Amino acid sequence: MIKNIENSSLKEYLLNEKNLQKENGIEDAVRKIILAVKDSGNESLLSCINKYEEKNLKSVDEVLFDQNYLEDKFNSLNDKNRDMLVYMADRIEKFHNKDIEVFKEFEDDSVEKYGYFLRPIEKVGLYAPGGKAQYPSSILMTGVLAKLAGVNEITVMFPGKIDDLDLMFASSHLIGAKRVINSGGAHTLAAIAYGTESIESVDKIFGPGNSYVSEAKRQLFGEVGIDSLNGPSEVAIIVDENSSIEYAVRDFLAQAEHGEDSRCFLIHLPGFDLNLFKQSLEKNLSKSKRKGIIDNALINCCSIDACSLEHAISLSNLIIPEHLEILIDDIDLDQIPEIQAGAIFIGTESSAVMGDYCAGPSHVIPTGGQGRYSSQVSLNDFYVKTSFVVATKNSYKKNGYKALLEKSISIAESEGLFEHANALKERDN
């Protein structure tokens, strides 16, 4: 069952947890996998798939599926499943569609024009977790944005048994994927980063995964772009005496069922009955179809007491959770900018599960405190931004053009870059 952590010890608890994760040998194991696939391509990839995913394949081609296969899977869905995927895709597109300006131009008194434009990334790889369940939502959360941005080539990756993954294949069709690789883990990320005899490399990798996937993304950054280091899923839930114990329990269990390494924090204000919460948690867990996974996940979960909402928010800001639920009504929304979290769900009827599916914002969110410098995936992440400056002979008629030259020359000379200065002096004559 969950641990009780003194609020004064939370910072130390989080630090110790990070140190334990660093000592688990994942970094070295992932490095060996990546180097093997980089050096030997299909041969090492096939070996890793058979070893880590417990398959018995003769060729990498057995895990590669083209657009025709994906279309057949989509068309074979019943109306209910097809409609739910389309509904979710539409909600995601609705949220993000107004999130971008692909061309921006400004007038200026020093040059004719300047601004920026965005071009879609050419090729992306979209990772979705698998093995313990199928997650079409993870494909749509990144794939809808890739399609909306105009990415030319989308490769989707997920592990699992083919017969259990119809929704995954169908979702891949819905986003216009060129191919699916039915494998996961560090070996698959290495394959699409470097390319193999059967798999083309991509320019950027998106999507959540386990600790091995997150570590692989960290090590591959620079060879390819990555969205962020999305590790094991996590939630912090703030409750007070008026919060529904059953809502909190259900949301706790929902987060824990993602995997054995999921993390859940219950931050409770005075008046909340922690004993009743634990009793309900145990009762509902005993009836859960995913009891084995949740049992292991709860080892990583804890409760923390807070004396006020402000104190609870300050504790949450130490965690900087992937998801933060504040199951309290009448929240002063002016407090929201003070909160550090990947995604926030406010009010007694809100739930992080809404964000997992059909609320609209992406559920690909930084974990493990990385929200202090990283954001959830958005449409911007699928573009490359390039600036432009237009300066012609007409610029000499501008009031500020000469000042732009003179100030730039002064800065160049102060830095000791005299050829920089001479390049502008030539234009200043």
**Hey, which residues are catalytic here?**
322-323
The Cβ-side half-sphere exposure at 399, using a 13 Å CA radius, reads: 3
What is the three-class DSSP state of 360? coil
Rounded CA separation 344/322 (Å): 9
Task: Name the pairing type of β-strands 123-127 and 113-120.
Answer: unpaired
Q: Which residues pair with 64 in a beta bridge?
A: 181
Phi/psi-derived region of residue 347, left when phi > 0, alpha when psi is between -120 and 50, beta in every other case: left
| Contact between residue 238 and residue 313 where contact means Cβ atoms under 8 Å apart | yes
Which amino acid appears at position 259 of this protein? G
Rounded CA separation 198/183 (Å): 14
Closest CA to 371 of 333, 336, 343: 343
Residues with Cβ within 8 Å of 119's Cβ and at least 6 positions away in sequence, in order, are 383, 384, 386
Closest CA to 250 of 284, 293, 301, 282: 284
**For residue 392, how many other CB atoms are within 10 A of its CB?**
9
What does each C-alpha distance from 316 to 115, 261, 298, 352 come to in angstroms? Answer: 39, 19, 19, 15
Percentages (nearest 5) of helix, strand, coil residues in the chain: 50, 15, 35
| DSSP secondary structure letters along 57-126 | -S-GGGGEEEHHHHHHHHHTS-HHHHHHHHHHHHHHHHHHTTS--SEEEEE-SSSSEEEEEEEE-SEEEE
Question: What is the helix (H) or strand (E) element at residue 253, kind and residue range?
Answer: helix 245-256
**For residue 18, how many other CB atoms are within 10 A of its CB?**
11
